[in-house]
Structure 1
Amino acid sequence: MNGLPAYTRSQLALRNGQDKPEIWIAYLGIIYDVSESRLWLNGKHYEHWAGQDLTEELSEAPHTHEVFERFSAVGTLK
């Protein structure tokens, strides 16, 4: 993912659908914009909240990591 800007966890946390209009999540060090997903309205997807690294939580999800292919990568997590 060369060329993508790097963001801190604090910067990611602001993209939670509440503090800023963007809804971002991180997975395996890549930050994805899920703002257009109807499943992430208001920054919440079931028991998951946007603005966080969801790498560990994915093991409990009913889908695989391939779900992230639907979304644009906007950065990397520092």
Structure 2
Amino acid sequence: MEILPVYSKSQLALRNGQDKPEVWIAYKGVIYDVSLSRLWRNGKHYEHWAGQDLTPELGDAPHDDWVFQNLDVIGKLG
């Protein structure tokens, strides 16, 4: 099993599509890279902003956990 690096919330916050070129989001403790997704242009997807933990917000989304299965895992949220 691969050991993933751990990133803090402040490190995640910098990957918001504005401060650095990377666009990352977290869900259930796992950080995903959405930089190449057309749905996350400029670090925003509908009312959701990159660089943060979206776990509490997914309940309002029109989809479920399956949307994360094809995203690149970057690390864990520590």
TM, length-normalised to structure 2? 0.97
- Alignment-derived partner of residue 57 in structure 1: 57
Partner of 1:23: 23
* Counterpart in the other structure of 1:41: 41
Residue 70 of structure 1, CA deviation: 1.5
**Distance in 2 between residues matched to 1:28 and 1:20, nearest whole Å:** 23
The alignment-based identity, stated in percent, is: 69
Structure 1 counterpart SS, 2:35: coil
Runs of 4+ with >2 A deviation? none
The number of residues matched between the two structures is 78
Distance 1:35 1:11 in 2: 16
What are structure 1's unaligned runs of at least 5 residues? Answer: none
Deviation, 1:15, is 0.2
**Structure 2 counterpart of 1:67:** 67
Return 5+ residue gaps in structure 2 as ranges: none
Pairwise CA RMSD of aligned residues? 1.0
